[in-house]
């Protein structure tokens, strides 16, 4: 994961010098916000950051939810992301903007502690593995419940809230599966540990609505727009885990996971156990946007060089 430079509080510093104090407030209490963004080399040989504006806007929204004041504008952080990619040698890379409270007061409120911002990049291939990306993953419904909308601010990409996902992920991986599926407090399918879920059932594509306990993913939004442009209806609705078992296709979406098929849930084969036609269609459309030569959505691409 080591890179040449990390953007830290307004300047590029060497990887080894991007350090914080052990009493950094967010390290102890988990109040911070982050984003996951990808930069791809496209068919023209140049690098583009995918949906940068939407990611940085969501970072600001997460910080607002957390009552953290960012000392930069959206435009300044967009430029900082481009600058960070330019300062490192990766062709494709993952970007991690992070806002966190520094050391100072150690009470829970930490009012007055400085908000720091860092942007790192690293080379990150298929998050759930190349095999999973091509042929599908094995998923398991976790015993851990996705946070309720009144117990956590589920619309924010908040650092400490990911303990819930980490426990779910570790649980299912220790049992031999690739990814965890989490139910909400009422037993309906929420999302995976770090991805949104799409189910294809009898010709319709279903996904959990944004009003439920999910993070409304930017890749999720991309998928919904691409499906709509191909006259494939997407229905936002709640559904139970047994609909997963009887689905024709299931796939997950996320910046890290991209578009990953699911071939098995709770030891039940999905469809014929292979990525289905709608899954393959959306995979092809997505990768043509981020790596190919599609000119369908130029507003989603920020040129690095």
Q: Taking a C-beta distance cutoff of 8 angstroms, is the pair 156, 120 a contact?
A: no
Domain 5-122 has CATH 3.30.470.10: yes
pLDDT at 150: 87
What would the pLDDT profile of 255-298 be if each residue is shown by its tens digit?
999 999 999 999 999 999 999 999 999 999 999 999 999 999 99
Active site members: 157
pTM: 0.96
Q: Taking a C-beta distance cutoff of 8 angstroms, is the pair 176, 205 a contact?
A: no
**Confidence grade of residue 211 (pLDDT, cut at 50, 70, 90):** confident
What would the pLDDT profile of 218-233 be if each residue is shown by its tens digit?
999 999 999 999 999 9
Average of per-residue pLDDT across 56-83: 97
Query: In the chain, which residues fall in CATH 3.20.10.10?
Result: 130-290
What would the pLDDT profile of 109-150 be if each residue is shown by its tens digit?
999 999 999 999 999 999 999 999 999 999 999 999 999 988
pLDDT at 106: 92
Return the CATH number of the domain spanning residue range 130-290. Answer: 3.20.10.10
Percent of the chain with pLDDT over 90: 95
What would the pLDDT profile of 93-102 be if each residue is shown by its tens digit?
999 999 999 9
Name, in order, each residue with C-beta under 8 angstroms of 8's C-beta and a sequence gap of 6 or more: 18, 116, 117, 118, 119
Query: In the chain, which residues fall in CATH 3.30.470.10?
Result: 5-122
Does the structure show a pLDDT above 80 at 1?
A: no
Does the structure show a pLDDT above 90 at 54?
A: yes
Average of per-residue pLDDT across 184-203: 97
């Amino acid at each position: 994961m080591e890179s040449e430079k990390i953007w830290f509080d307004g300047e590029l510093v060497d990887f080894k010098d991007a350090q914080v104090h052990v009493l950094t407030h967010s390290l102890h209490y988990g109040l911070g916000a982050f984003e996951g963004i990808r930069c791809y080399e496209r068919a023209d040989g140049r690098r583009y950051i995918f949906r940068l504006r939407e990611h940085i806007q969501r970072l600001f929204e997460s910080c607002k939810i957390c009552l953290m004041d960012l000392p930069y504008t959206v435009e300044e952080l967009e430029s900082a992301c481009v600058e960070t990619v330019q300062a490192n040698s990766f062709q494709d890379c993952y970007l991690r903007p992070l806002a966190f409270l520094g050391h100072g007061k150690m009470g829970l409120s930490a009012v007055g502690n400085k908000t720091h911002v860092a942007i790192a990049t690293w080379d990150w291939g298929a998050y759930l593995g190349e095999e999973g990306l091509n042929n599908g993953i094995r998923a398991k419904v976790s015993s851990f419940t996705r946070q309720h909308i009144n117990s956590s601010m589920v619309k924010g990409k908040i650092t400490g809230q990911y303990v819930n996902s980490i426990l779910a992920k570790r649980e299912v991986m220790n049992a031999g599966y690739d990814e965890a599926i989490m139910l909400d407090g009422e037993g309906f399918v929420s999302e995976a540990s770090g991805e949104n879920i799409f189910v294809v059932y009898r010709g319709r594509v279903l996904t959990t609505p944004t009003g439920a306990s999910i993070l409304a993913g930017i890749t999720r939004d991309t998928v919904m727009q691409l499906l709509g442009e191909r006259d494939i209806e997407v229905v936002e609705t709640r559904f139970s885990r047994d609909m997963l078992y009887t689905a024709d296709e299931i796939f997950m979406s996320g910046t890290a996971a991209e578009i990953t098929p699911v071939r098995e849930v709770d030891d039940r084969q999905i469809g014929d156990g292979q990525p289905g036609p709608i899954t393959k269609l959306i995979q092809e459309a997505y990768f043509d946007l981020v790596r190919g030569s599609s000119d369908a959505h130029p507003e989603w691409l920020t040129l690095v060089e």
